[in-house]
Amino acid sequence: MDRHSKIVLTNEYQEDLKKNKDVTQGDLDKQYIIEEGNKFRVPYRMVRMVTFKNVVKEGEFRDQPHAARLQYRLMEKDSILKARVNFIKNTITIMYNPKNADNLKDKISLEEIVDFLKTQNVNVNAENAEDVDFDYVKDFYSYAFNPPSIREHPPYGYTVDEWKELKATYQKKLEEGKEKSWNKFLEFQKNYEALHPEINWEEEEK
């Protein structure tokens, strides 16, 4: 039986609108950003990043396999964007969508995260946790698609300032070298054809 014809498929944005029936046009406008004249929809703006330190290694945090499973269970929640359970450093870092976030996505509070960890037999202290704002667009979305120049490392033996001065000259020589190699190949091809007139390149291509 073909069930697909009876299933109405909706995208993630449409599902968000169904969950937020009272959403206004102003709320919808906040889901978009404009970069270089182009309009993009981003699901989040300002979210939160919490880090629990000195987590006691018990329950679902007693060894690395259990820590990996705990990380997976955290990521199963739609309100948690990213989770990293570091068994070696005894830390749990979670990027989550807080209750006061200005978006249409599922939300969760810090207290609810602590309660969930308790269900996994992992006790953390929310008062000692480092809970800070996290700019999703600037530090996650834009950083991923428009990486900053700081990611570019100078060649070995050069400082960043030295490389800035030498980079233009290096790129110019690189382009000249490519052009020289291509002209050398064309000359070789021409001489080869002159020495082997029996070769029909058009027939070979067919």
Contacts of 141 by beta carbon, 8 Å cutoff, 6+ apart: 42
CA distance 162 to 159: 5
Average pLDDT of span 23-43:
73
pLDDT of 130: 93
With a threshold of 0.75, does the pTM exceed it? no
Please, what is the Cα angle at 40 between 37 and 43, to 5 degrees? 150
The pLDDT tens digits of the residues spanning 134-182 come to 988 888 777 666 655 555 677 888 888 888 888 888 889 989 999 999 9
CA distance 30 to 138: 15
CA distance 177 to 174: 5
pLDDT of 5: 47
- Domain boundaries along the sequence of the chain: 44-149, 160-205
Q: Are 94 and 80 in contact (CB under 8 A)?
A: yes
Cβ burial of 74 (10 Å; 0-12, 13-18, 19+) is: buried
Does domain 44-149 fall under CATH 3.30.70.100? My reply is: yes
pLDDT of 104: 82
The pLDDT tens digits of the residues spanning 193-205 come to 888 777 765 555 5
Could you say which DSSP state residue 141 is in? I
Q: Are 13 and 57 in contact (CB under 8 A)?
A: no
* Phi and psi torsions of 81, nearest 5°: -80, -35
Could you say which DSSP state residue 103 is in? S
List the beta bridge partners of residue 91. 86
List the beta bridge partners of residue 46. 135
Average pLDDT of span 23-38:
71
CA distance 177 to 197: 30
The pLDDT tens digits of the residues spanning 1-19 come to 344 444 445 566 667 666 6
The pLDDT tens digits of the residues spanning 75-119 come to 999 999 999 999 999 999 999 999 998 888 889 999 999 999 999
Contacts of 176 by beta carbon, 8 Å cutoff, 6+ apart: none
Of 89, 73, 80, the C-alpha closest to 109 is 80
CA distance 56 to 65: 16
